[in-house]
Amino acid sequence: MLGEEIPSTESQVKVDEEAPKINLAIERHLSEIAKKRDKHFVDTQNCLGTAIVSLSAAVSLAMNIDENIDYVQLMKYLWDTGKLLCEVYHDQSVARKSFITPVLDKAIKPTLDASISDEWLYGENLTDQIKDIKAIEKASASLKAPEKFPARKILPRPTFQGNWGNPPTRHGQVGQYAQKRFTNMKYKPKSTPSQSSQKPSNEKTRTGNRSIKK
């Protein structure tokens, strides 16, 4: 890095002072946790963007100073510093995508991975690209042959053999059979209190008759 030859001033990474904003088509699918996590990356990128802009101003100012200094070495140091800041800035965009892309539709994942950030995190043409993907999926679905399901086999109904009459009476079930058994039982009435009170008087009468006979 440091000490390398000064590369071309053309850069493949477009750097603004502010971090790229999340596309509106993507933001509405994010949870609150994902939004808060992305805000951390946004703040970091904003700091880096400011540092890069300040560094660019320093480079421009140094190039206009007419003194006997080693401008080549100065430009190397400044350029390498700018490269590092640009790399960190770009990595922050990649990190933001790595947290956002997995929660989105898998069908558009290849397009999201190949997108290049500009003012928007996934590029300003993301909406048109998603529409093209949906149109291709719809056309592919119409070309697909319908699935053939195997014919359902109808099994013959089983034939039952044996007693088709009424089922046997269950334990505790009250029916005709149980009522018949109850009516055929011999019923022995219990003695009443009046009958039990008469027994001693009858015994006294019998003993009195015996004494008279004697």
What are the φ and ψ backbone dihedral angles of 111, each rounded to 5 degrees? -65, -40
| pLDDT of 1 strictly over 50 | no
Q: Using one digit for the tens of pLDDT, what is the confidence trace for 70-113? A: 777 777 878 888 887 888 888 888 888 888 888 888 888 888 88
Confidence band for 146, pLDDT divided at 50, 70 and 90: low
**Rounded average pLDDT over 204-209:** 53
Question: Would you say residue 3 has pLDDT above 70?
Answer: no
Stronger pLDDT, 89 or 9, i.e. the higher one: 89
pLDDT of residue 56: 79
Q: Are 31 and 99 in contact (CB under 8 A)?
A: no
Dihedral sign computed on CA atoms, order 111, 114, 119, 124: negative
Tell me the pLDDT tens digit for each residue of 147-192. 776 767 777 776 655 555 555 555 555 555 545 555 555 555 565 5
**What per-residue confidence (pLDDT) applies to 9?**
42
Please give the share of the chain, as a percent, with pLDDT higher than 90. Answer: 0
Say how far apart CA 206 and CA 204 lie, in whole Å: 5
| Residue 196: both structure tokens together | 């039990």
Separation between Cα atoms, residue 139 and residue 105, nearest integer Å? 18
Instruction: Identify the residue with better confidence: 80 or 10.
Output: 80
pLDDT at 209: 52
- Quote the pLDDT of residue 45: 84
For the stretch 14-47, pLDDT in tens is 566 688 888 888 888 888 888 888 888 888 888 8
Residue 200 has, within 13 A of its CA and on its CB side, a CA count of 3
When pLDDT is cut at 50, 70 and 90, the band that residue 60 belongs to is: confident
Higher local confidence (pLDDT), 183 or 121: 121
Average pLDDT, the chain: 72
Q: Does an H or E element contain 202, and which?
A: helix 193-213
